[in-house]
Amino acid sequence: MADDANPTTADDQSTAGSYVTPGTEFTRDDRYIATRITADGRDGYPVEAGRYRLVVSRACPWANRAIIVRRLLGLEDAISMGVTGPTHDARSWTFDLDPDGLDPVLGIPRLQDAFLARFPDYERGITVPAFVDETTGQVVTNDYAQMTLDMSTEWSAHHREGAPDLYPEALRAEIDEVALAVFKDVNNGVYRCGFAGSQEAYDAAYARLFSRLDWLSERLSTQRYLVGDTITEADVRLFTTLVRFDAVYHGHFKCNRSKLTEMPVLWDYARDLFQTPGFGDTIDFQHIKDHYYVVQTDINPTSIVPQGPDLSGWLAPHDRAALGGRPFGDGTPPGPVRAGEEVDPQHTADAMRG
């Protein structure tokens, strides 16, 4: 499945603070390391438990996809995970959450080090999520759109018992179609609003975003999930934007026709997923707000992080089960979050305090 030329998100750019070009429409860098980790190892990187480290930031919606998919499929034993801090400087995401500021497995202070280990003259954005080969310390790929699909299809031998099929073969064409529309108008649409360099560019992006959200509301008014009757890759991709909508996109990115809480169908849908194991337990609202409001200084030059909004409603009941559907199909929910990979409980308590 392609994501509109696999665009790089502004969350992941290596130059902190510079995102808006006056007078222009926001565009994205599509230059990714296209190497894949596959069951047959055709790109030189075979699927191998314990060999690769998934480097993520909980702030980034694109990395959040990989965190969710890894957890739903039960790949924790096969793929280790390193978590950067929520902010980055002009060079790279950094491991400032770890003791001495070093990733405990890779032994590096910056994700950039893994990119330069493989490509000494690397000049593109240092992006998350990224797979790093623990045996060499070199980055393998940062192609986030392909990474989650490969976790579903290439890593199946290492899935947990009862893992859901997030990319069922019979539904792939429809998943691809829906996910691409969601990407162009919603996942990318919020950035086209927030980083618009002209009124005309903003107005067009704003109209396109909310037209698609209205379309999604209509689609989800009669079915529990985006494609079929189970959670798929398409739901993961929409969720990571919706969960950030009121916290950052509504105000910071000027996506302010409606809050998510004012779009009843989408609000119920997002809460249904948030309360499903593997989704809400990956979300760190404090990291999300810190990233957008601190790093993106051309939008928020003071780097002041707002106290609001009230996020306690994420735990409120919803009626989505009345639409039927089986979240995990013939599978089962994932177990508790692995020790050491939990979201900071104080961050969760603060967000849900109301």
193 in the same domain as 340:
yes
Please indicate, yes or no, if residue 243 is contained in any of the structural domains: yes
Give the full edge-to-edge strand order of the sheet including 80-83: 80-83, 52-56, 130-133, 138-141
Check pLDDT > 70 for residue 14: no
- Of 100, 124, 158, the position where a domain reaches its end is 158
**Does the active-site annotation cover 206?**
no
Which pLDDT value is given to residue 28? Answer: 65
Where helices occur in the chain by DSSP H, the ranges are 61-73, 111-118, 144-153, 172-182, 189-194, 199-220, 233-244, 250-252, 264-274, 285-290, 345-351
Which pLDDT value is given to residue 4? Answer: 35
Work out the mean pLDDT of the chain and round it to a whole number: 93
Which pLDDT value is given to residue 71? Answer: 98
* Of the candidates 159, 80, 129, 102, the residue with the CA atom closest to the CA atom of residue 340: 80
Please indicate, yes or no, if residue 163 is contained in any of the structural domains: no
Longest dimension (CA), the chain: 55
Question: Catalytic residue among 60, 269, 292, 293, which?
Answer: 60
**For residue 92, what is the domain's CATH number?**
3.40.30.10
**Global pTM value:** 0.94
- Whole-number Cα distances in Å, 45 to 52, 69, 137, 321: 10, 20, 13, 41
Parent domain of 293: 169-351
Check pLDDT > 60 for residue 337: yes
311 in the same domain as 199:
yes
Is residue 93 part of an annotated ligand binding site? yes
134 in the same domain as 62:
yes
**For residue 213, what is the domain's CATH number?**
1.20.1050.10
> What pLDDT, in 10s, does the model give residues 40-92?
999 999 999 999 999 999 999 999 999 999 999 999 999 999 999 999 988 89
Strands 138-141 and 80-83: unpaired
Please indicate, yes or no, if residue 322 is contained in any of the structural domains: yes
What's phi and psi for 34, nearest 5 deg?
-85, 0
* Of the candidates 236, 254, 267, 232, the residue with the CA atom closest to the CA atom of residue 300: 254
Please indicate, yes or no, if residue 203 is contained in any of the structural domains: yes
Question: Catalytic residue among 45, 167, 191, 293, which?
Answer: 191
What is the DSSP-derived secondary structure letter of residue 248?
A: I
260 in the same domain as 227:
yes
Check pLDDT > 50 for residue 3: no
Which pLDDT value is given to residue 353? Answer: 74
- Of 158, 190, 218, the position where a domain reaches its end is 158
282 in the same domain as 207:
yes
179 in the same domain as 118:
no
180 in the same domain as 124:
no
Please indicate, yes or no, if residue 218 is contained in any of the structural domains: yes
- Averaged over 294-305, what is the pLDDT? 95
What is the token pair recorded at 212?
């698609």
Q: Mean pLDDT lowest for which of 11-25, 91-105, 187-201, 276-290?
A: 11-25
Q: DSSP 3-state assignment of 213? A: helix
174 in the same domain as 153:
no
244 in the same domain as 188:
yes
State the total domains in the chain.
2
Which pLDDT value is given to residue 10? Answer: 42
Please indicate, yes or no, if residue 4 is contained in any of the structural domains: no
328 in the same domain as 203:
yes
Which pLDDT value is given to residue 15? Answer: 39
Please indicate, yes or no, if residue 1 is contained in any of the structural domains: no
* Of the candidates 205, 179, 207, the residue with the CA atom closest to the CA atom of residue 191: 205
**Does the active-site annotation cover 191?**
yes
- Of 130, 158, 186, the position where a domain reaches its end is 158
